[in-house]
Every structure is written in structure tokens, then in C-alpha cells.
Amino acid sequence: KQEVTQIPAALSVPEGENLVLNCSFTDSAIYNLQWFRQDPGKGLTSLLLIQSSQREQTSGRLNASLDKSSGRSTLYIAASQPGDSATYLCAVNQAGTALIFGKGTTLSVSS
Amino acid sequence: DAGITQSPRHKVTETGTPVTLRCHQTENHRYMYWYRQDPGHGLRLIHYSYGVKDTDKGEVSDGYSVSRSKTEDFLLTLESATSSQTSVYFCAISYGQDGNTIYFGEGSWLTVV
């Protein structure tokens, strides 16, 4: 059974820092991996989608990498801002099932 | 924003009563999903649909049923609500299942007292 783990569960950084969020999964037979952002009391917003054949995807200050063989993905946020404060979730997509989510990393960026 | 509307957005109901949550999409996406989100458990799949009248169970389907009579609507029913079903319920949609981005609704907060 696929399990997705995100470490750390919470992270606090000062504004301007570069940071890395980690996601690991136990079964490497995935179609893709997706990173989401969730603001308090809101739904999930898709940030980046990495197909299994890709190594990384970039969008603005965000860069997500995927190492399928080792079951790891990272989300790199450059020059963090208070507006980046949110919970970040990763999810993997496998055959025969819907997305399987990690429990998220709650990020707080202080000004 | 993907055209997903969930209703009601907030509901308080009594134990033992039936409750139906509605998800409506305007994107004509084939796949629709119901998830629940709880502290300590994250997001867990309840049921999903891969077409009109085609549904399948997810990880936490006990106590829930679904129906999809039209492409645009996916209903989640709690036949007899229990306090353990107090949660935030999210509907999601995707064009396909394998390589497509999934889009989420804003959530429905359900409290069973």
C-alpha cells in the first residue's frame, strides 16, 4: 500500500530565506506527483505537477524535483515571503486509484 | 479557477439524520472525487466517479454513498450521520486519471452533533 510522508510537519522561517519541503513515497510505480497549497479554511490549489518521466518542474519561485527510484520529491521555495505561509501537500497518482496525499507541511514565514 | 461548486458550504446536523453534499462542475471533466480532511489523517478518498453512473469506493467509504446521474453533478450522501463524520469534505475533478492536474472545490464543513 502506497504511503506518502512529508517532513517536517511544520516549519517557521524568516522572510527571504530559501527553503526545502520534503515528500517521500513507498511505491515508485507512480504516474506523477503533484504539489498543492492550502490556505486556512480553503481548498487546495495545484502548484506543480511532475510526470514520472520528468526530473523537475519550475513555476516562478517554486521548483519541484522528483527522484522516482528513491521515492523522493522536494519543493524548493526561493526568497520566501509572508504570503507563502500555508500548508503544502504532496500527492502521488498511481494506477487504479486516486491521488494519495501526505499530511502536509505547515509553513510560516515571518516578516 | 476550475468551475467547481460545493453545496452546502457549511452544515450542522444531528446524529442519525441523512445528509447530502453536492458537487457541481462546469468543466465537463470525466473524473470526480470526494475526499474528507481530518487533523492527523490528512486527505482521504471516500468515493470517486469515472463517468455517469460509474463509481468506485475509496479508502474510507463506509457510511457513505454516491451518485452521478449527470456529468456535472456528483452527490455524496451520509445515510445516517454520525459524529465521526464531522469533517471537511472536498470535491475534486480531473480530465483523466493518469497524468492530469486535479482541481479542488472550496470544501464543505459538516458538523454532526
pLDDT digits (tens, 9 = 90+) for A19-64: 999 999 999 999 899 999 999 988 899 999 999 999 999 999 999 9
Q: How large a percentage of chain B has pLDDT more than 90?
A: 83
pLDDT for the residue B21: 98
Q: Is the pLDDT of residue B54 over 70?
A: yes
A95 touches chain B (CB under 8 A): yes
Q: How large a percentage of chain A has pLDDT more than 70?
A: 99
> A82 — phi, psi (to 5°)?
-55, -30
Inter-residue contact A65 to A21 (CB < 8 Å): no
Nearest residue on chain A to B109, alpha-carbon basis: A41
Q: Give the span between the Cα atoms of A111 and B72, in whole angstroms.
A: 43
A5 touches chain B (CB under 8 A): no
Inter-residue contact B68 to B74 (CB < 8 Å): yes
Q: Which of residues 12-31 of A touch B (CB under 8 A)?
A: 31
A105 touches chain B (CB under 8 A): no
Question: Which run of H or of E encompasses B69?
Answer: strand B64-70
Q: Which residues contact residue A20 at a Cβ distance below 8 angstroms, ignoring those fewer than 6 apart? A: A74, A75, A76, A77
pLDDT for the residue B99: 61
Confidence of residue B98 (pLDDT cuts 50, 70, 90): low
Q: Is the pLDDT of residue B73 over 80?
A: yes
Nearest residue on chain B to A39, alpha-carbon basis: B106
> B84 — phi, psi (to 5°)?
-70, -10
Q: How far is CA A26 from CA A13, A41, A99, B14, B16, in A?
A: 29, 30, 14, 40, 39
Q: Give the span between the Cα atoms of A68 and A64, in whole angstroms.
A: 13
Q: Is the pLDDT of residue B87 over 70?
A: yes
Q: Is the pLDDT of residue B1 over 60?
A: no
Which of chain A's residues have a Cβ under 8 Å away from the Cβ of B21? none
pLDDT for the residue A37: 97
Q: How far is CA B57 from CA A25, A91, A96, B54, in A?
A: 22, 19, 11, 11
Three-class SS of residue A28? coil
